[in-house]
Amino acid sequence: MSDTTRHIRHVLSENPVTLVAAGLFMAFVVLALVGPWIVPYDPLVSDATAALKPPSWQHLFGTDAIGRDIFSRTLLATRLDLGIAVSAVALSFVLGIALGLAAGYFGGWWDVGVTRVSDTIMAFPLFVLAMGIVAALGNTVGNIVLATAIINLPFYVRVARAETNVRRHAGFVEAARLSGNGDLRILAVHLFPNILPPAMVQVSLNMGWAILNAAGLSFIGLGVRPPTPEWGILVAEGAQFIVSGEWWVSFFPGAVLMLAVFSFNLLGDALRDIFDPRKRT
């Protein structure tokens, strides 16, 4: 067993809550990968004779207003929501860390420009900004990913800039520079690993926020278009039936959405410890 594997096992086993969060995360990943092949019903096929049936062994989560199986739709929505969240966070992580590293290390006009762009984005309510971007560009999956990435970008810029600014004159950086390392190598090999711990905590939080953002946009009609299965759409479709007693239509998709966000929020500490070079000693 490699040292990295031992370190990951130690971090996960040290905190039972973190282990539970990691288990939930892996369960969502597996469901996203195999969901289309294990759903018991076609999530797009309606059956008027089975409309608004309560949970049963035949329909674990019940059925919606036109007889579609809610369990199948919720399960299939896992792939779309996780795909949006992972794509958006990956895009904002790569761009934000690169811009933050450059701003903190080189300073000057580069620092001023990156900071001003970051502050401009943060000046808007982030969800409202995402609404505006999607409304202007169109409510496609690609535009939802782009909008979510833009509103998450300042978090990584600020983390990377602050951590780089503190360490750019540290002893190990000066030693690397005196050894003949160029700026790019110093940024990639010496500074980037030290930025990862706080950045990975931010990744964990942003994953949950990205899922909520995608679901929120769909809930108000600016996200993924029906009848595509998506957690926000499923909650919105069921909201009107809560008063009349058909609670299951929105309850189960909402509970799965809450569980996904919960697991990502709890993973932050584990990711910080896994990627922290000082924790490996």
pLDDT digits (tens, 9 = 90+) for 85-104: 999 999 999 999 999 999 99
Nearest-angstrom CA–CA distance, 281 and 279: 6
In the prediction, which pLDDT does 273 show?
Answer: 62
Answer yes or no: is 152 within a domain.
yes
Nearest-angstrom CA–CA distance, 222 and 153: 21
CATH number for the domain spanning 110: value is 1.10.3720.10
Three-class SS state of 163: helix
Answer yes or no: is 53 within a domain.
no
Three-class SS state of 63: strand
Residues in the chain: 281
Structurally, the chain folds into a number of domains equal to 1
In the prediction, which pLDDT does 210 show?
Answer: 92
In the prediction, which pLDDT does 204 show?
Answer: 85
In the prediction, which pLDDT does 216 show?
Answer: 92
Q: How far is CA 115 from CA 21, 111, 197, in A?
A: 34, 6, 22
User: Tokens representing 267?
Assistant: 């993973």
Answer yes or no: is 143 within a domain.
yes
> If you average pLDDT over residues 7-36, what whole number do you get?
78
Answer yes or no: is 226 within a domain.
yes
Is residue 208 within 8 Å of residue 271, measured between CB atoms? no
Domain range for 24: 3-41+58-280
Answer yes or no: is 46 within a domain.
no
> If you average pLDDT over residues 36-41, what whole number do you get?
89
> If you average pLDDT over residues 165-177, what whole number do you get?
85
Answer yes or no: is 95 within a domain.
yes
Answer yes or no: is 256 within a domain.
yes
Answer yes or no: is 196 within a domain.
yes
